Amino acid sequence: MSGKIRLLILGLTSCLFIGCAVNPITGQEELMFISEKQDLEIGQKYAPEIEKQLGGKIDDESLQNYIDSVGQRIARISHRPNWEFHFTAVEHKMVNAFALPGGHIFVTKGMLKKLTTEAQLAALLAHEIFHITARHSSAAFSRQMGLSFVLFGLSAAGAKIPQDASRAAGIALQLIGLKYSRVQEKQADVAGLDYMVAAGYNPHGAVELHQMLQEQDKVRPVEFLSSHPSPKNRIISLNARIQTRYDSPEGLRIGKNAYRTTVLDRLPSIVDPASDGLDHLTN
């Protein structure tokens, strides 16, 4: 039997016995080792640990409600409008954002300080929301944790998810470092742009977000870009899509004043993003 045929059979049987997920963009079935129910279990189990690793929740209810309201507006028009999403601003100084299986999205204080409009925040959250709705996060988790962990470490009821604190912390770090493929990043850029416009946001916020990240990256490597392969034409692709699909964004929300008063004016200044001693997060 040739290697290709063997792989095909393995793929088909794996699909039958383990499961497939339909990519909402391509409509194609993709091999998926964890169920949507297990997504929720992973999120519920590790979100508190990840929040802790990222310096804890920013203690500002108005700011949290604002981030959540922007995220929920986008989540409701996403491919999974009925899924429960949670948006949390965390204290960490690095410039980054994370999406966990099960609908948990974290954005760091370092990132929030670098944004200047609500539309830029919407672009960031829309990109992360798509990683969840397309189950990129679930696929990356199963790939990084290994098939054996996923099959035998997670029970259907989640009862075997490791309970000891150090193991949970290790897994939380793996979740923070989830890596996506270039194709998945491109899909998240495209779908994120469509999501934010559908939610009423000016798409130029997405271009501004990526311009900021690239500028930051020249000064100091930006973790968001290290976990998100950044082809040079990413901004060009976004601009091209805006020109062909959204060439009249007048009237769509930018939200500069709202972002300044609800986020920037409420966040104390950050001394030095490099001095936080959490280099492992960039791996």
Using alpha carbons, select from 49, 68, 39, 73 the residue that is nearest to residue 197: 73
| Contact residues for 167 (Cβ-Cβ < 8 A; gap 6+) | none
The tokens of 100 are what? 């966990």
Give the number of other CB atoms < 10 A from CB of residue 143.
Answer: 15
Look at strands 97-100 and 29-31 and give their pairing.
Answer: unpaired
Burial class of residue 10 in the structure, from the number of CB atoms within 10 Å of its CB (0-12 exposed, 13-18 middle, 19+ buried)? exposed
Name which of residues 177 to 196 contact Zn ion (CB under 5 A). Answer: 185, 188
The tokens of 167 are what? 């193991």
43 in Cβ contact with 104 (< 8 Å)? yes
105 vs 160: CA distance, rounded Å: 24
For position 140 contacting Zn ion by CB under 5 A, the verdict is: no
For position 228 contacting Zn ion by CB under 5 A, the verdict is: yes
For position 93 contacting Zn ion by CB under 5 A, the verdict is: no
Cβ 128 to Zn ion, closest distance in Å? 7
188 versus 197: smaller Cβ distance to Zn ion: 188
98 versus 201: smaller Cβ distance to Zn ion: 98
41 versus 185: smaller Cβ distance to Zn ion: 185
80 versus 228: smaller Cβ distance to Zn ion: 228
Name which of residues 50 to 89 contact Zn ion (CB under 5 A). Answer: none
Name which of residues 231 to 270 contact Zn ion (CB under 5 A). Answer: none
Window of 28-36, 169-177, 193-201, 224-232 that interacts with Zn ion by CB under 5 A: 224-232
54 vs 147: CA distance, rounded Å: 27
39 versus 223: smaller Cβ distance to Zn ion: 223
| Residue nearest Zn ion, Cβ-based | 228
Window of 43-51, 156-164, 192-200, 220-228 that interacts with Zn ion by CB under 5 A: 220-228
Binding-site size, Zn ion (CB under 5 A): 3
Cβ 179 to Zn ion, closest distance in Å? 10
Total H helices, total E strands in the chain:
13, 5
134 versus 171: smaller Cβ distance to Zn ion: 134
Cβ 224 to Zn ion, closest distance in Å? 8
14 versus 144: smaller Cβ distance to Zn ion: 144
Look at strands 29-31 and 20-22 and give their pairing.
Answer: antiparallel
54 versus 168: smaller Cβ distance to Zn ion: 54
The single residue listed with the structure tokens 């805006």 is 242
Cβ 18 to Zn ion, closest distance in Å? 25
Cβ 127 to Zn ion, closest distance in Å? 5
Using alpha carbons, select from 240, 194, 177 the residue that is nearest to residue 24: 194
The single residue listed with the structure tokens 């499961």 is 19
Q: What is the DSSP string of 5-33?
A: HHHHHHHHHHHHHT-EEE-TTT--EEE-S
Positions touching Zn ion (CB under 5 A) are 185, 188, 228
